[in-house]
């Protein structure tokens, strides 16, 4: 049976006390809606339909390509939201999975299991439940003496005895589509003038239709996000989930409580992550690396056997066996080839450092191409901005840049050349030359690759 999915994402989220729509608040660095879209896509094998409020361009962008949208002009409840989407569901489909965007921790595997139960169940509704003494504001499942589900009672309408019921409605359903289309127009309007999806359960029960309840085992999955406190709770649960996955995959975490790994990060086996390390965005880490402590890596690609200590990497690429830090900053466009070392308080931006480059400490390399086995002395700076635009610096293979050298771009230091300490290089230095002074002047030539002191 083909199953489509509908994600309800038109709620105002007033309890977040934010000008930002609730479904755009970040969880693990991604907007809430992204988790529901991914989970529904995996569970059904097709693109979801997302019900959104009017003029919700940010939500459209956050969902990404392929998703279909339906606007709910008047927010008249969950039942009304599904009514807007029902007409857009393909006629060839037999089932529809309906869930809410504020249930971001529901796994794709859990929703896929719900769909599979819906395929096997002869009745019109299969719903997701949890047994928990903490209600989280969910409705309670009411059962007959025979144990059949007969209704869902919202918490606000429950008396004390009913509030003691621990079987909760999580808010994810699989409906037989033909039955749903027939029954949605029959939903009663509440005293508040809204249509509730949960009323479909009572409608089915009164008609003698069987209703199946599928229980969630992991209670972290049912953290619904309606307030900032809920969001913080979900953040902690997501971190536990992600860290557990990587621990089981051969990654060592010194202190999982202070390790933050984003949902799209990829880690190689035998990597060791020290305390207070943040790995964010589309980051990939190779095997047998050592990261941290106090390190942030964002949207970067790191090869195998690299060491990064107390540093920040943003949009950087490191090949194998690179060492960075402490207190280094690799900015967007930094590319470090195999065996490069960047020491304490080094900064690299929009530059490529070829294999074997050593950049000890207190240096800035921006908009530059650095050849193989170059030594960059302490305090070296590429002066890459002329007041109007960025200019390039080139340093040839095997060059030695003396401490406190200023390279005023555009400029080239040739292969095997040297600069004296404190030099200000404003003109190109030919291959195999020694340049010193302010401004730097070539004082002698040397044979490239030969020690000038020999």
pLDDT digits (tens, 9 = 90+) for 128-166: 999 999 888 899 999 999 999 999 998 888 889 999 999
Do 19 and 150 sit in the same domain of this protein? yes
Give the range of the structural domain holding residue 186, as residue numbers without chain letter.
Answer: 3-222
Kindly state whether residue 324 falls inside one of the protein's structural domains.
yes
Say what the pLDDT of residue 421 is: 96
Do 393 and 422 sit in the same domain of this protein? yes
Q: What is the CATH number of the domain that holds 436?
A: 2.160.10.10
Residue 121 burial (10 A CB sphere; 0-12, 13-18, 19+): middle
Do 275 and 406 sit in the same domain of this protein? yes
- Among candidate residues 25, 278, 329, 361, the one labeled active-site is 361
Kindly state whether residue 174 falls inside one of the protein's structural domains.
yes
Do 91 and 43 sit in the same domain of this protein? yes
Phi (first) and psi of residue 212, to 5 degrees: -105, 135
d(CA 63, CA 59): 6
Kindly state whether residue 46 falls inside one of the protein's structural domains.
yes
Do 194 and 49 sit in the same domain of this protein? yes
Do 11 and 106 sit in the same domain of this protein? yes
Do 208 and 248 sit in the same domain of this protein? no
Say what the pLDDT of residue 66 is: 93
In total, how many domains does the chain have?
2
Kindly state whether residue 230 falls inside one of the protein's structural domains.
no
Do 176 and 280 sit in the same domain of this protein? no
Q: What is the CATH number of the domain that holds 177?
A: 3.90.550.10
Tell me the whole-structure pTM to 2 decimals.
0.90
Residue 173's DSSP bridge partners are 98, 127
Do 300 and 204 sit in the same domain of this protein? no
Say what the pLDDT of residue 49 is: 96
Kindly state whether residue 420 falls inside one of the protein's structural domains.
yes
Which of 173, 191, 222 terminates a domain? The answer is 222
Say what the pLDDT of residue 29 is: 95
Do 190 and 278 sit in the same domain of this protein? no
Mean pLDDT by 10 residues, the chain (454 residues): 93 87 95 97 96 93 94 89 88 89 96 97 96 91 95 90 94 96 92 91 96 96 94 97 98 97 98 98 98 98 98 98 98 98 97 96 97 98 92 97 97 97 97 96 76 48
Say what the pLDDT of residue 447 is: 67
| Whether 157 is catalytic | no
Do 218 and 345 sit in the same domain of this protein? no
Say what the pLDDT of residue 449 is: 57
Do 285 and 366 sit in the same domain of this protein? yes
């Amino acid at each position: 049976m083909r199953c489509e999915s509908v994600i309800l994402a038109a709620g105002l989220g007033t309890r977040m006390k934010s000008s930002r729509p609730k479904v755009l608040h970040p969880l693990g660095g991604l907007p809430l809606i992204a988790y529901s879209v991914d989970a529904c896509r995996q569970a059904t094998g097709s693109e979801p339909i997302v019900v959104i409020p009017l003029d919700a361009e940010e939500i459209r962008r956050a969902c990404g390509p392929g998703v279909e949208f339906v606007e709910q002009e008047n927010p008249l409840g969950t039942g009304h939201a599904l009514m807007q989407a029902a007409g857009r569901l393909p006629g060839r489909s037999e089932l529809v999975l309906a869930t809410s965007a504020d249930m971001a921790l529901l796994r794709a595997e859990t929703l896929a299991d719900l769909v599979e139960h819906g395929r096997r169940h002869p009745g019109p509704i299969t719903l997701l439940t949890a047994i928990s003494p903490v209600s989280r504001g969910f409705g309670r499942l009411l059962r007959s003496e025979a144990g059949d589900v007969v209704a869902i009672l919202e918490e606000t309408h429950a008396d004390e005895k009913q509030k003691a019921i621990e079987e909760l409605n999580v808010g994810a359903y699989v409906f037989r589509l033909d039955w749903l289309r027939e029954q949605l127009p029959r939903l009663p309007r509440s005293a508040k003038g809204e249509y509730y999806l949960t009323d479909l359960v009572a409608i089915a029960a009164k008609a003698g239709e069987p209703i199946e309840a599928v229980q969630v085992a992991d209670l972290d999955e049912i953290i619904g996000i309606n307030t900032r406190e809920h969001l913080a709770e979900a953040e902690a649960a997501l971190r536990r989930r992600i860290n557990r996955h990587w621990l089981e995959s051969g990654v060592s975490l010194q202190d999982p409580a202070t390790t933050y790994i984003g949902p799209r990060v990829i880690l190689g086996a035998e990597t060791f992550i020290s305390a207070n390390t943040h790995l964010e965005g589309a980051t990939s880490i190779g095997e047998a690396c050592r990261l941290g402590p106090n390190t942030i890596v964002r949207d970067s690609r790191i090869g195998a056997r690299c060491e990064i200590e107390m540093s920040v990497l943003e949009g950087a690429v490191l090949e194998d066996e690179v060492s960075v830090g402490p207190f280094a900053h690799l900015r967007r466009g930094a590319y470090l080839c195999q065996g490069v070392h960047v020491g304490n308080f080094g900064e690299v931006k929009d530059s490529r450092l070829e294999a074997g480059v050593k950049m000890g400490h207190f240096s800035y390399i921006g908009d530059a191409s650095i050849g193989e086995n170059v030594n960059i002395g302490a305090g070296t700076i590429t002066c890459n901005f002329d007041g109007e635009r960025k200019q390039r610096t080139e340093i040839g293979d095997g060059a030695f840049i003396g401490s406190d050298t200023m390279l005023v771009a555009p400029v080239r230091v040739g292969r095997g050349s040297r600069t004296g300490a404190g030099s200000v290089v404003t003109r190109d230095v030919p291959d195999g030359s020694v340049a010193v002074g302010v401004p730097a002047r070539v004082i002698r030539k040397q044979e490239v690759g030969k020690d000038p002191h020999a």
